[in-house]
């Protein structure tokens, strides 16, 4: 399959999290992923977008940009915000760590992204924002089983 790309940009509102999940999943569908692969992608996107809304913009208005790219059987997702940035990326990646304990969130966002995707890269600069880059190889089990796409 040749490469393909798409870009989404939307307001940092919790109500847009579902839109982001569904849009990215719909774009990924052209790779004929399994239901588990789609669920992994949707969960990773949810976590990244929610982090941007809650931590990046701290519930203030801002923009979130999602860039998706397909190259062969590789699916790339980049989630970008221009919020407050992450002070300590290594600490933020630790299980159960959260800067907002009052919200009773689990502090597992980056852990989930890492578990559900094949690679995770976090780039952040204080007061400039955060970029989360994820990659997932789609196994195309339907093709392997000889089923038509």
Q: What does the chain come to in residues? A: 149
- Catalytic site residue 51? yes
Torsion, Cα of 71, 75, 81, 82 (10° steps): -20
Active-site annotation holder among 65, 67, 93, 105: 105
Active-site annotation holder among 17, 21, 37, 51: 51
- Catalytic site residue 105? yes
Q: Which of 51, 19, 22, 27 is nearest to 39 (CA)?
A: 22
- Catalytic site residue 21? no
Q: Which of 146, 132, 1 is nearest to 78 (CA)?
A: 132
Are the C-beta atoms of 28 and 42 separated by less than 8 Å? no
Which residues have a catalytic role annotated? 47, 51, 105
């Amino acid at each position: 399959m040749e490469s393909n790309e798409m870009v989404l940009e939307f307001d940092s509102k919790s109500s847009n999290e579902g839109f982001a999940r569904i849009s990215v999943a719909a774009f990924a569908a052209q790779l004929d992923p399994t239901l588990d692969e789609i669920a992994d992608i949707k969960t990773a996107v949810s976590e990244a977008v929610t982090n941007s809304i809650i931590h990046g913009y701290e519930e203030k208005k801002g923009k979130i940009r999602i860039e998706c790219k397909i190259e062969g059987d590789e699916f790339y997702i980049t989630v970008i915000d221009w919020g407050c940035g992450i002070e300590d990326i290594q600490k933020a990646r630790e299980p159960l760590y959260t800067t907002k304990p009052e919200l009773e969130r689990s502090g597992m966002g980056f852990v989930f992204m890492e578990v559900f995707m094949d690679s995770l890269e976090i780039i952040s600069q204080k007061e400039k924002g955060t970029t989360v880059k994820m990659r997932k190889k789609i196994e195309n089990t339907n093709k392997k089983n000889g089923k038509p796409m």
